[in-house]
């Protein structure tokens, strides 16, 4: 389900300080003639490739197209962690996931963490947040937490129901759950009106025997290793596209309200998403993957001073939101941020993308440490290459994709291009000591599981058996409990590397 949450930052009459104060990183823009309003709209699970060709041919997105025509769209924008809470933590902090230690959907920012919105408020902006925020610690289900903590355990259990949709509700059936039926009808109507069913692409799958071991683990835990007909896959994807169309309509309500209030020409609007949605690409659904469908997000900016009808091909990511928001407000940028302002590429004052490439690194970093994936995962994305490393860099083979010739990411060419692989790995290690980070996550998972187990007490066996993996667990409960015991007894993984 796509969820829309909105952050609204309204400009006050107070003057913003000039950027470039001592000890602060200088922003791209010195000041707007008048302090603009800023509105950030963020949805859940929106595949960024739908906002440009050829993905834009599948589903009608009129308000996203409106933003493209009247603003700047970033064609290669990525999440810094393809799961809700860690991704949003990166967006609100401006820091990479390993720096905030937002390891999974339960572990995000401290509730008192100073976000870009707090900084803007201190500098005279009146601010408000609406909707699902989900960037602080302490949320999500017990199942989600335990599955993330135990991903290093030597077992393989299905954690989800088999993905399916029912696109044609039977009118003769008694409608007991009226609200659910209403939502179903709305989805079907969106499908019929907004989705070009014939244009929906059936993704190519590698044979199970040829899948990368981490991908196989993800497909199995997501209950996607069985047989699916083309119609099933197409229907799942169609239903997802219909939800994207509905999200576009929600965005449109906000844009129309700004126009009716006479605020559209005074407001910078930014639209993005916390991550994408696989929608059965690579035999998976949900996110939790570095493949394009999961990691590629939409990012569009329009408003006063923003270039219209501009497409930027440089790679950017969600940590860039923090410095961009402060830059718009004319607030000095802290030096410790992982992100960079996007204004040099989108402002009417800067019309040279090459200059932006000199101000923004030619790479982005994304990492994942949560459930449904049995190894910490790290992605380095450059203009041509996508390099994916796992765990300690040695125990699991890396992946390398040339997105210019293989946009569907079907051929791992890491072994074919060892020099490129080595060079990208060295670059990745210069950004993040990923073997050490992986070891820290291993140790964190054990410590958290032990605390949880102790809190359950004598009811442990019953509780753990009835989490989302219960259908598989209950077949051999002692076997799986023993596997966890062996994992807990193994030596500490938190070592200096």
Would you call 61 helix, strand, or coil by DSSP? coil
In this structure, are residues 133 and 93 in contact, taking their beta carbons and an 8 Å threshold?
Answer: no
Q: Which of 84, 85, 224, 371 is catalytic?
A: 84
Query: Going by C-beta distance under 8 Å and a sequence separation of 6 or more, which residues neighbour residue 71?
Result: 269, 300, 301, 302, 303, 306, 307, 308, 310, 346
Query: Closest by alpha carbon to 302, among 30, 28, 118, 63?
Result: 63
- 220-239: string of b/e by CB count within 10 Å (b at 16+)? bbbbbbeebeeeebbbbbbb
Burial of 167 (0-12, 13-18, 19+ CB in 10 A): middle
Residues 330 and 32 sit within 8 Å (Cβ to Cβ): yes
Q: How many CA atoms lie within 13 A of 343 on its CB side?
A: 23
396: helix, coil or strand? Answer: coil
How many Cα atoms occupy the beta-carbon half-sphere of 453 within 13 Å? 14
Q: Is 84 marked active-site?
A: yes
CB 318 within 8 A of CB 367: no
| C-alpha to C-alpha distance for 427 and 431, rounded to whole angstroms | 7
The residues assigned a catalytic role are 84
């Amino acid at each position: 389900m796509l969820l829309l949450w909105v952050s609204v930052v309204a400009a006050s009459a107070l003057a913003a300080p000039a950027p470039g104060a001592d000890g602060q990183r200088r922003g791209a823009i010195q000041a707007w003639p008048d302090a603009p309003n800023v509105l950030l709209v963020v949805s859940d699970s929106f595949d960024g490739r739908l906002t440009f060709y050829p993905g834009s041919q599948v589903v009608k997105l009129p308000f996203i197209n409106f933003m493209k025509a009247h603003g700047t769209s970033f064609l290669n924008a990525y999440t810094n962690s393809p799961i809700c809470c860690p991704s949003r933590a990166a967006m609100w902090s401006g820091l990479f996931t390993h720096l905030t230690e937002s390891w999974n959907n339960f572990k995000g920012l401290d509730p008192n963490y100073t976000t870009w919105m707090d900084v803007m408020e201190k500098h005279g902006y009146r601010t408000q947040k609406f909707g699902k925020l989900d960037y602080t610690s302490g949320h999500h289900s017990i199942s989600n937490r335990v599955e993330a903590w135990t991903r290093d355990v030597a077992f393989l259990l299905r954690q989800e129901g088999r993905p399916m949709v029912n696109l044609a509700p039977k009118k003769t059936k008694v409608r007991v759950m009226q609200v659910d039926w209403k939502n179903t009808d709305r989805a079907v109507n969106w499908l019929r009106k907004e989705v070009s069913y014939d244009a929906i692409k059936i993704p190519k799958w590698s044979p199970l025997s040829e899948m990368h071991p981490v991908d196989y683990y993800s497909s199995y835990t997501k209950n996607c290793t069985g047989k699916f007909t083309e119609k099933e896959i197409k229907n799942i994807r169609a239903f997802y596209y219909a939800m994207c169309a509905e999200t576009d309509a929600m965005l449109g309500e906000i844009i129309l309200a700004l126009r009716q209030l006479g605020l559209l020409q005074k407001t910078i609007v930014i639209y993005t998403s916390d991550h994408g949605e696989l929608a059965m690409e690579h035999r998976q659904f949900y996110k939790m993957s570095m493949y394009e469908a999961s990691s590629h997000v939409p990012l569009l900016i329009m408003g006063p001073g923003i270039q219209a009808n501009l497409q930027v091909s440089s790679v950017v990511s969600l940590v860039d939101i923090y410095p961009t928001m402060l830059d718009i407000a004319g607030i000095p940028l802290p030096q410790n941020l992982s992100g960079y302002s996007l204004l040099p590429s989108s402002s009417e004052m800067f019309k040279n993308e090459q200059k932006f490439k000199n101000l923004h690194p030619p790479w982005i970093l994304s990492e994942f440490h949560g459930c449904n994936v049995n190894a910490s995962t790290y992605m380095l994305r450059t203009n041509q290459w996508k390099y994916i490393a796992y765990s300690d860099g040695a125990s699991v083979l890396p992946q390398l994709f040339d997105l210019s010739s293989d946009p569907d990411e079907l051929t791992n060419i890491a072994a074919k291009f060892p020099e490129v692989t080595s060079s990208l790995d060295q670059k990745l290690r210069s950004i993040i000591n990923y073997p050490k980070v992986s070891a820290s996550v291993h140790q964190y998972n054990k410590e958290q599981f032990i605390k949880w187990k102790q809190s359950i007490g004598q009811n442990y066996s019953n509780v753990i058996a009835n989490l989302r993996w219960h259908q598989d667990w209950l077949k051999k409960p002692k076997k799986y409990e023993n596997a966890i015991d062996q994992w807990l007894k193994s030596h500490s993984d938190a070592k200096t590397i």
